[in-house]
Homo-oligomer: A and B are copies of this chain.
Amino acid sequence: MIEIHDVHKSFGQLEVLKGIELTVDKGEVVTIIGGSGSGKSTLLTCINGLEPIASGRIVVDGTEVHAKSTDLNRLRRKIGIVFQQWNAFPHLTVLENVTLAPRKVLGMGKAEAEEIARTQLAHVGLGDKLATYPARLSGGQQQRMAIARALAMSPDYMLFDEVTSALDPQLVGEVLETLKMLAEEGMTMICVTHEMAFARDVSDRVAYFHKGVMAEIGVPDQIFGDPQHPETRKFLASVR
């Protein structure tokens, strides 16, 4: 379970998160939508401790992320994250990209790590690209590889940050399919996305962010069918 209590966060003068409250249960899929700069990405990077927070608490399975005593490297093993920019490790093959962390972080043997990597890569449809270097992959394939890489650590939670928005329209579909599949398998997920159709189909709940505040949260039918907050209405009108 991920519990976020009254989280505040600033970059210099700019307050980017203004008291976020959100609890994500095991197996739940929460989608975050909202305008550019509203703090969606920042929230995700705070959840796995890549960014410090100013005040509030983020608790993952009972461990407070930003406590001094927390071993972040250990915590991050159970929180997979995939970013908007494809950040494949360009000097490693697809297989090596996926096995690196299991081997170095979990101390797995080569054979075992490769076994897992193969499974995950097949899962995302890259079973035939094991020996390829990322530069040879399309954007969509790179994104799927990044997903497999995160999954190979057997995380309990997955965070996705606009994983399709840097992709050509033709490639978006294949990545969204992969996410949908994961959701159906019961993975706990927080997805930041601009794909409204996807948000509606897959989410248990949808949150709308506006200028660092979570303006509204609810089941997809409510958010898309009957938005309460005027900003949500404006936003949805603009993206349709």
Listed in ascending order, the chain A residues whose CB lies under 8 Å from chain B are 36, 165, 168-170, 194, 238-239
List residues of chain B with CB within 8 A of the CB of A170.
36, 238-239
Give bound CA distance, A238 to B174, whole Å.
12
Give bound CA distance, A157 to B170, whole Å.
29
List residues of chain B with CB within 8 A of the CB of A238.
170
How many monomers of this protein are in the complex?
Answer: 2
Give bound CA distance, A163 to B15, whole Å.
35
List residues of chain B with CB within 8 A of the CB of A239.
169-170
List residues of chain B with CB within 8 A of the CB of A165.
168-169
List residues of chain B with CB within 8 A of the CB of A36.
168, 170
Find the B residue at minimum CB distance from A166: B168
Give bound CA distance, A125 to B230, whole Å.
27
Give bound CA distance, A169 to B36, whole Å.
11
Top 6 closest A-B pairs, CB basis? A169-B194, A36-B170, A165-B168, A169-B239, A170-B238, A165-B169
Find the B residue at minimum CB distance from A194: B169
Q: Closest Cβ of chain B: how far from A85's Cβ, in Å?
A: 13
Q: Closest Cβ of chain B: how far from A36's Cβ, in Å?
A: 7
